[in-house]
Structure 1
Amino acid sequence: MGVTVPFKQVDVFTEKPFKGNPVAVINFLNIDESEVTQEELQTIANWTNLSETTFLFKPSSDKYDYKLRIFTPNNELPFAGHPTIGSCKAFLQFTKNTTATSLIQECGAGAIPLVITEGVISFKAAMADYEGISTEVIAGYEHAIGLKFIAAPALLHTGPEWIVALVEDAETCFDANPNFPMLAEQTKQNNHAGIILAGHKRNASIKNSFEMRAFAPVMSVNEDPVCGSGSVALARYLQELYKFEETTKITISQGGRLQRDGHIVASIVKEADGSNSYHVAGHAITVVDGKITL
């Protein structure tokens, strides 16, 4: 392309540098989206070799503040959680916006409302659809994970297609050692992104606290350090399992097995019409700030 554009790498779901989940964010706000090919974007994402790389473009209408395109090293995603929060942080810095309290992101999953409160960025999930799976598929995942699940897992459509499964407790979740080639084959056969594994923290001082892990070897990410769309999937799954009757916060820790220290708050919000909406909140800090030439 022969242009130089601003670039940031943002660490998400942490207040400590290098302890969250990084996302590369490239500022194409001053470039017409039609001037960039899918192949060029994918090549950049493959080069950064992070779980996700995002590209900020001008939105298609003034209903939105910006358009976000999200890529893994291998493919484009309609939505992902930690890239949404990290890209919001980068957008505010790119545009020198220090006063915004809310934004609307345009992406493949539609409009994503964002709220900024005292340094914490939260998004409202565009989708959180629940679907049961067969006993045969469940058995395949138990075999790949090497554990028995304590409740029937389910498929959650949150942008990525996540299987969510619970194990006995947080320690069991933390200690799990999946067979990644087997898990990749299982997810490929069923057209799933991967599996969200979680276990309840038995002695936690905060109610509804969980250890969570996200495995997606079919997308060349054996384990995602801290996963936003996965936390939406977990919250929706827990709502189906426990039928919470009031707004409920799910406190999630993730990344310890990868020497990270990720923290997410997923909220199940009871709307006025009786429906539930799902929100994810976390911190984000910029650790790389520069430019790249394309």
Structure 2
Amino acid sequence: MRAKRFTLVDVFSTEAFRGNPVAVVHDAGGMPEQDMQALARWTNLSETCFLLPSDDPRADYRLRIFSTLREMPFAGHPTLGAAHAWLAAGGVPKGQQLVQSCAVGLVDVRAEHAQLAFRAPPLLRAGPVEEALLAGILGAFGLQRHEVQRAQWVDNGAGWLALMLDDRQRLLGLAPDLSTLHGVPIGLFAPWPGGDAAFEVRAFIGGDAVPEDPATGSLNAGLARWLLEEGMAAAPFAMAQGTAIGRAGRIHVRGGGADLWIGGACVTRVDGQLAL
């Protein structure tokens, strides 16, 4: 039986067990892809990720990220959780900031304000959502068309489609039927006047074992880019996520354009060995 270091990191919250957990397998070189996917199904977390030797001389390591259903080309909270685990295990970046290699390319990660933050990758797909597709999504969420202020693709590798509502309480009360979404990741958000964050966010992945994600770096990165480019927000600001399911995620947005950073707290909750 082989053993590898295994870390569970709570990402995007300083409150114990109220962020988004990610599993990190260290030194995963040589581990078969089918075993990675099997482990991701077994942990039943939104993502499980695997640290491997770098495949690019500019990067400090390579990261592979798996949901319970498939490999993800990019995801935000696994990026931060893996960086935290790598550093805690004694990793030393080659340069002033850490560089991760993953399927979408190189992703910079830096420490700031006692947090870790990743440089948001560019959007792979943007623009308005087709009305026919939007109609099916509205039905799944029990929303009327007039309740959605705007609908936009904010896909930076995870496939996100976003809906903007104007009523936070309506957002928090949604109980969607995810069976009709066919695996399309849907993010919804609304302003939070007077709150400790500028916006409240919810994230759903139809057909996955984790139907609502507690705190989502990739979605918030896409939302932040959209909000900043359209002049609907000004950095720095924070996004709240997980409220409806008893979590307390806080995702922090700084900078903009090519220098847009998405950050939050990372805390190790479990550090041990995985038997293979």
* TM-score, structure 1 as length reference: 0.86
| 1:269 matches 2:264 | no
**CA distance in 2: counterparts of 1:268 and 1:195, whole angstroms:** 25
| Distance in 1 between residues matched to 2:259 and 2:232, nearest whole Å | 14
- Distance in 1, matches of 2:49 and 2:215, equals 16
Aligned match for 1:131, one of 127, 143, 164: 127
Q: Which structure 1 residue ranges, 4+ long, deviate > 4 Å from structure 2?
A: none
1:46-61 mapped onto 2 (5 Å cutoff): 46-61=41-56
Tell me which moved more, 7-16 or 231-240: 231-240
The equivalent residue for 1:281 is 263
Shift of 1:277: 4.2
Say whether the 8 Å CA contact 2:150–2:165 is kept in structure 1.
no
CA distance in 2, matches of 1:145, 1:241: 25
Code of the residue aligned with 1:174 in structure 2: it is L
Post-superposition Cα deviations, 1:214-247, rounded to whole Å, max 9, x if no partner, equal 0002333210011100101211232344366xx6
CA distance in 2, matches of 1:60, 1:6: 21
| Structure 1 residues 57-206: aligned runs within 5 Å | 57-95=52-90, 102-128=97-123, 129-148=125-144, 149-182=147-180, 184-185=181-182, 188=183, 192=184, 194-204=185-195
CA offsets per residue over residues 103-141 of structure 1, 9 Å max, x none?
000101100001112420000122224132211111111
Amino acid at match of 2:161: I
Give the 3-state SS of the residue equivalent to 2:239 in structure 1.
Answer: strand
Question: Structure 2: any 5+ residue segments left out of the alignment?
Answer: none
Cα-to-partner distance string for 1:125-183 (whole Å, 9 max, x where unaligned): 2222413221111111111111234323011221111111111222221111112222x
The residue aligned with 1:227 is: 216
Q: Is 2:275 the counterpart of 1:293?
A: yes
What is the alpha-carbon distance in structure 2 between the residues aligned to residue 118 and residue 203 of structure 1? 23
Deviates more, 1:69-78 or 1:133-142: 133-142
* Alignment equivalent of 1:218, drawn from 199, 204, 207: 207
How many pairs are equivalent? 273
Kindly indicate whether the alpha-carbon contact (under 8 Å) linking 2:44 and 2:209 is maintained by their aligned counterparts in 1.
no
Q: Deviations over 1:262-281 (max 9, x none)?
A: 100123515xxxxx543211
Whole-angstrom distance in 1 between the partners of 2:260 and 2:210: 25
Which amino acid is 1:292 matched to?
A: L
Q: CA deviation at 1:249?
A: 2.5
In structure 2, distance between residues paired with 1:117 and 1:241? 26
**Tell me, what secondary structure is at the counterpart of 1:161?**
coil
Structure 1: which 5+ residue stretches go unaligned? 271-275
Q: 1:190-220 CA distances to partner (integer Å, 9 max, x unpaired)?
A: xx3x1110010123366xx000000002333
TM-score when scaled to structure 2?
Answer: 0.91
In the alignment, structure 1 residue 17 sits paired with structure 2 residue 16:
yes
Quote the sequence identity (%): 31
Alignment partner, residue 248 of structure 1:
235
SS in 2 for 1:133: coil
Provide the rounded CA distance (Å) in 2 between the counterparts of 1:205 and 1:70: 31
Q: CA separation in 2, counterparts of 1:109 and 1:195?
A: 20
Q: Tell me how far apart the structure 2 counterparts of residues 61 and 198 of structure 1 sit (CA, whole Å).
A: 36
Q: Is residue 164–residue 237 contact of structure 1 (8 Å, CA) maintained in 2?
A: no
- How many angstroms apart in 2 are the aligned matches of 1:68 and 1:178? 32
Give the Cα separation in 1 of the matches to 2:43 and 2:85. 17
Instruction: Supply the distance in 1 between the matched residues of 2:103 and 2:110 (Cα, whole angstroms).
Output: 19
- Partner letter of residue 149 of structure 2? A
